[in-house]
Structure 1
Amino acid sequence: MPVDLILGSNNVGPNGKVKTIEDFSAILDLFHSHGNIHLDTAYLYPAGHPGQAETFLGDLQVTKDGKFILDTKVRSFEDGAHAADEICKSVEAQLKRLKVDKVHTLYLHAPDRTVSFEESHKAINELYKQGKFERFGISNYQPDEVLGFVERANKYGWVAPSCYEGLYNICSRRAETELLPIFREHNIAFYAYSPLASGFFSNIKRNEPPPAGGPFDPTTFNGQYNQGWFFKDALFTAVEELGKVGEEYGIPNNAIALRWLRHHSQLTDGDAILVGYSNIGQLKQNLEYLGQGPLPQQIVEVVDKIWDAIKDDAPEAAM
């Protein structure tokens, strides 16, 4: 059975790429027409304009009549954001924007190491007991930190993490050795974000300036972060090698990346791929690629050789 798909919303909102609720509604309809029902959002989305994506989702009443299931992530990436009272305030405001009493999964979006993880976990557990969410998720945490959540859950009877959102793609496979063994042992699903490395596989060329306003624009926080992850000679070479073998079969890099992740990676039943887009045309293309079957064996072998060559330069599996 193919790995599940989850629709992201990090580009949604008046200050995002998908600027109108009408455009977003059409994107949701397209995603649903392919048999998909799982949506993902966050307090942060779109970056720099918190709450806009959640507001769109709430106005569209996406969970009405069970059409979609919805996950969100609490305010993060700020010192003190995961103090108990701050988590509670964040969730209260988020549920109000989403116009729901609870979400399917509530995530801690990224580690807040200025607050004890025990305090944050206890606050999450209290919200769980109040029925604010069904599943607890974490994202971007280090392996030992993941184990800490598991151990506290066992020690105190608190809700345990049941899913993890993390970086995973052809050029970012450290999760296979650093995180996946933990997930398999403790029944934690892995949801892979950035399957196309924010466009690095197709839209970025060596020694050419990245497009202004794009995911690698160095004047933005996200652009600086993405460049730090991917702008390395070894990774540029990997993309070029991928393009060469893809040309032999008439398969573009993005299709290789998505088909490899769905059919040849270490994702399995219960895991998922977070699907991104900047517009409905891009989503349509990505869904088409994801609907295609396994890759030719020669391409799979090249992907593995690429990883062996770049693993020391690859982005970290967690923050």
Structure 2
Amino acid sequence: MAQNTTNLPQRSLGSQGLKAGAMGLGTMGMTIAYGAPDEQSSIATIHRAYELGVTLFDTAELYGLGTGSSEQLLGRAVEGFRDDILLATKFGYDLSDPARIREGALDMDSRPEHIREVTENSLRHLGTDRIDVLYQHRVDPNVPIEDVAGTVGELIAEGKVRYFGLSEAGPDTIRRAHAVHPVSVLQTEYSLFERAVEADVLPAVRELGIGFVPYSPLGRGFLTGAVKPAADYSADDMRSRDERWQPGNYEKNLAAVRELTAFADSKGIAVTQLALAWLLAQGDDIVPIPGTRSPQRLEENVAAAHITLTPDDLARIQEILPHGAAGSRYPAAIRPTWQ
């Protein structure tokens, strides 16, 4: 494998000393949610990401549905360069009952003892002695966020974790956690398709010196343009249930992406690169983590970090898609509620 010698720009994720290449890699789709896994292609993609200067690699206990498969895959793939990168993973679900998982039930569990149990499992699955970023995957309404922050703070003091992160938390929760132990980074969905964080969340994290990691920065693949209606996806593909792919919404979103594609073509870039360059232009404290199992797609995504959009370009993009996509990003039963 080639050494990491790229000139991918580096970014500071907040004020706690966390730095990463301007583009990260999300690994959820390598094991769940986007059809049958392809381990060989996934590992090749992780290796290519490292060669191109990607340093932030993101996984979660959930992505293995309680088996550890996602973390194990990532751990095997980065074994030869683990000390050169950042490994991020997440806790926060009760995945003890496979039947509940198969039914689509995702029960929360951020009790301190469970956080410690999941962390030990994650360390073992990743084959490492420390987790660089440990996120609470979703806010648990049954456990005070102060208890969560305190527990992760203890793990940091013990050297098992380096940085504390939250995912899909609102300003009040972020402030309460940050008062107990500094929150280094927030991970929440943000893209041309999903703008809700712009109102209250981004201002709050910037006030507190917290970095921001957008997941699904390509609208779960819709912003690639390689899409089809919900009914054409398999049952194990989350796009078969996503409101943005449903009749009515699908046609509106497809029309917007076609306009964005035409504009990207006029600039000699791919629509994916346009979408990622737009996201990077929203602040130098942002590191997106697009997911892919294709080394070629990954190369295209990383190249977006070298694209500069002008004020006129940004105005044109806003004109095409002023408010995000048609349709909610999650079904009502699992839609995150910020506090």
State the TM-score bracket (shorter-chain normalisation).
0.7 to 0.9
- Structure 1 residues 52 and 304, CA gap change in structure 2 (3 angstroms): same
Give the alignment partner of residue 38 of structure 2, picking from 2, 5, 19: 19
Aligned to 1:90: 118
TM-score (norm 1): 0.81
Q: 2:74 aligns with which of 57, 70, 87?
A: 57
Cα deviation, residue 179, structure 1: 1.0
Q: How far, CA to CA, are the matches of 1:64 and 1:248 in structure 2?
A: 39
1:15-63 deviation digits (Å, cap 9, x = unpaired): 975532x4343222211221222211111115x4641111123334537
Give the 5 Å matches for 1:1-319. Answer: 4-13=22-31, 18-20=37-39, 22-46=40-64, 48=65, 50-60=67-77, 62=79, 66-76=83-93, 78-151=106-179, 153=180, 159-201=181-223, 202-204=225-227, 209-212=231-234, 215-218=237-240, 223-224=241-242, 227=245, 231=249, 235-262=253-280, 264=281, 266-268=282-284, 270-288=285-303, 290-295=304-309, 298-310=312-324, 319=337
Structure-2 separation of matches of 1:278 and 1:213: 19
Structure 2: segments with no counterpart, 5+ residues:
1-8, 12-21, 95-105
CA RMSD of aligned residues (A): 3.2
Unaligned stretches of 5+ residues in structure 1: 154-158
Match of 2:4 in 1: none
Q: Deviations over 1:198-223 (max 9, x none)?
A: 11121235x674432675443xxxx4
State the secondary structure of the residue aligned to 2:191: coil
1:97 and 1:314, CA in 2 relative to 1: closer, same or farther beyond 3 A?
closer
Secondary structure of the corresponding residue to residue 274 of structure 1: coil
Distance 2:311 2:171 in 1: 32
Higher relative contact order (CA 8 A, sep 6+): 2
Shift of 1:141: 1.0
**1:160 alignment partner AA:** P
TM-score, structure 2 length as denominator? 0.76
Identity %: 24
